Amino acid sequence: MIIQPRVRGFICLTTHPDGTAQNVKNQIDYVQSKGAIENGPKKVLVIGASTGFGLSSRITAAFGSGAATIGVFFEKPAAAGKPGTAGWYNSAAFEKEATAAGLYAKSINGDAFSDEVKKQTIELIKQDLGQVDLVVYSLASPRRTHPKTGVAHGSVLKPIGQPFTDKTVDFHSGVVSDITINPIENDEDIENTVAVMGGEDWQFWIEDLKAAGVLAEGVKTVAYSYIGPELTYPIYRNGTIGRAKDNLEATVPALNELLADLNGVSYVSVNKALVTQSSSAIPVVPLYISLLYKVMKEKGIHEGTVEQMQRLFATQLYSGHAPALDEKGRIRVDDWEMRADVQEEVAALWQQISTENLEEISDIKGYREEFFGLFGFQVDGIDYEADTNEVVGVPSIQ
Ligand code: NAD
Ligand code: NA
């Protein structure tokens, strides 16, 4: 099968198995090039393991410290004539590489918000690993069916209070225009977004894992958050999604209490803005990211998800000393993004940016490349005119 990208809005409907496999190999190579993470995790559960920060966390654990990993995600395998999702191919490629390297790797494909998938995961841990010593929580989803009430919550990306007007880019056409996003009309939008992207499900996972006795002495758990610059506050940190992130961060003390008798600890790590399937759907943010990339690449401090996660594990979670926390108790691997010199330059470019100078003063090219890269396209070394080997299934994905 010859596969070409087919884009609709913020998503690419097709994916390339060889390109996604190459991406996974590149991430593995990067982690290995940084050397072993001493005293790293050994038995790891990653919830949201198939793309973005979760996939890079899994790769870092496996190839940085030789960890056995179980990955949970929600993806689609290939069907007749139709490629699978990128996360499916990523996971298939990861398992192949991990297994070849002698590392245990199994995956569960299903709804992580459900009690059923939690049970299935616990059974698999009991059967194969006994206990886990790290739980990474890296879900990003537009909806969640609540396991106790059955209510289907949908998250929204809206400001709270006033309408928000600023520049945004259609990164395919390169047109920069003003967008106005109206604020929420009632608090239900906040409640729903918190229900989907807040900390409740993380807590449910940790409660269930603990009750089942599958958390090891000294267990760590980490979830990911974002803050970003003032210019995106109305749509991100001060908007509905920001309330969900507040809620996620506020879950840390409750989890620490829950884990205290195991000498366990929970963290939120604030990560850098990056092109992922989730972030490309947020208005304004892609334009910010293409300016941020420009500035950070020029300064030689640009990172992708794997560089971020390798740095998180090696210098914070498993550095041999306690992680450096901000005034709100969070790990900050967005520290380079938030550097004053970086933010000043981005803010100055933001004032000037237009359709006419987009290619010149932003890294929209890098943005597009990374976007297509998420789906396995525009990856160096892949012959896109050649027939691909169809990856239909991987036995260890249940
Ligand atoms: P992503 O879309 O790349 O990954 C999401 C993962 O969640 C995938 O593995 C997907 O399969 C899984 N998933 C979604 N719904 C699921 C379900 N119902 N059941 C099981 N698995 C499900 O997202 P990402 O950008 O890597 O985001 C991960 C976390 O990092 C989020 O909390 C996000 O807010 C945070 N974060 C993202 C950025 C960014 O710029 N992308 C920056 C900082 C923090
Ligand atoms: Na993820």
- What mean pLDDT is predicted for residues 308-333? 97
For a pocket test of ligand 1, which of 51, 155, 337, 367 has the largest count of ligand atoms closer than 8 A to its C-beta? 51
Burial of 383 (0-12, 13-18, 19+ CB in 10 A): exposed
Q: Express as a percent the part of the chain with pLDDT over 70.
A: 97
Question: 54 CA to middle of ligand 2, Å?
Answer: 3
Q: What is the pLDDT of residue 395?
A: 44
For a pocket test of ligand 1, which of 58, 74, 121, 196 has the largest count of ligand atoms closer than 8 A to its C-beta? 74
Q: Is the pLDDT of residue 279 over 90?
A: no
Instruction: Enumerate residues lining ligand 1, CB below 6 A.
Output: 48-54, 72-75, 87, 111-113, 138-141, 224-226, 271, 273-274, 276-279
Q: What is the pLDDT of residue 10?
A: 77
pTM of full prediction above 0.95: yes
Give the confidence band of 396 by pLDDT, cuts at 50, 70, 90.
low
Angle at 206 (CA atoms; ends 205, 207), nearest 5 degrees? 90
Which region holds residue 205: left if phi is over 0, alpha if psi is between -120 and 50, else beta? alpha
Residue 32 vs residues 17, 37, 193: alpha-carbon distances, Å: 23, 10, 38
Computed from CA positions of residues 263, 264, 269, 274, in that sequence, does the dihedral angle turn out positive or negative?
Answer: positive
Give the confidence band of 283 by pLDDT, cuts at 50, 70, 90.
confident
Cα separation of 380 and 275, whole Å?
18
Q: Is the pLDDT of residue 388 over 90?
A: no
| 157-200 pLDDT tens trace | 999 999 999 999 999 999 999 999 999 999 999 999 999 999 99
Q: Which ligand is nearest to the CA of 292?
A: 1
Instruction: Point out the catalytic residue in the list 30, 89, 224, 236.
Output: 236
Residue 73 counted as an annotated binding residue: no
Q: Which residues contact 62 (CB under 8 A, 6 or more apart)?
A: 44, 68, 69, 94, 98, 101, 103, 105
All domains of the chain in start order, with CATH? 7-374 (3.40.50.720)
**Across 13-17, 91-95, 317-321, least confident range:** 13-17
| 196-211 pLDDT tens trace | 999 999 999 999 999 9
Give the confidence band of 379 by pLDDT, cuts at 50, 70, 90.
very high
Question: 126 CA to middle of ligand 2, Å?
Answer: 24
Give the confidence band of 121 by pLDDT, cuts at 50, 70, 90.
very high
Q: Which ligand is nearest to the CA of 279?
A: 1
Q: How far apart are the first and last CA of the chain?
A: 25
Q: Which residues contact 133 (CB under 8 A, 6 or more apart)?
A: 41, 42, 43, 44, 216, 218, 219, 220
Cα separation of 355 and 38, whole Å?
48
- Give the orientation angle of helix 200-211 with respect to helix 252-259, to 10 degrees: 10
| 215-257 pLDDT tens trace | 999 999 999 999 999 999 999 999 999 999 999 999 999 999 9
Q: Whose CA is nearest to atom 28 of ligand 1?
A: 138
Q: Is the pLDDT of residue 69 over 80?
A: yes
Residue 49 counted as an annotated binding residue: yes
Give the confidence band of 397 by pLDDT, cuts at 50, 70, 90.
low
| 81-118 pLDDT tens trace | 788 999 999 999 999 999 999 999 999 999 999 999 99
Q: What is the pLDDT of residue 280?
A: 87
**Which residue in this structure is represented by tokens 């090039």?**
33
* Residues β-bridged to residue 39: none
Q: What is the pLDDT of residue 291?
A: 98
Burial of 43 (0-12, 13-18, 19+ CB in 10 A): buried
Residue 231 vs residues 16, 316, 321, 350: alpha-carbon distances, Å: 35, 28, 35, 9
Q: Are 186 and 148 in contact (CB under 8 A)?
A: no
Cα separation of 203 and 254, whole Å?
8
For a pocket test of ligand 1, which of 113, 278, 311, 333 has the largest count of ligand atoms closer than 8 A to its C-beta? 278
Question: 48 CA to middle of ligand 2, Å?
Answer: 5
Give the confidence band of 325 by pLDDT, cuts at 50, 70, 90.
very high
236 is catalytic: yes
Q: What is the pLDDT of residue 23?
A: 98
Residue 329 counted as an annotated binding residue: no
Cα separation of 189 and 218, whole Å?
37
Q: What is the pLDDT of residue 166?
A: 96
Cα separation of 120 and 212, whole Å?
12
Computed from CA positions of residues 109, 112, 117, 120, in that sequence, does the dihedral angle turn out positive or negative?
Answer: positive
**Which residue in this structure is represented by tokens 């890296």?**
138
**Which is nearest to 291 in space by CA: 387, 233, 357, 197?**
357
Question: 141 CA to middle of ligand 1, Å?
Answer: 7
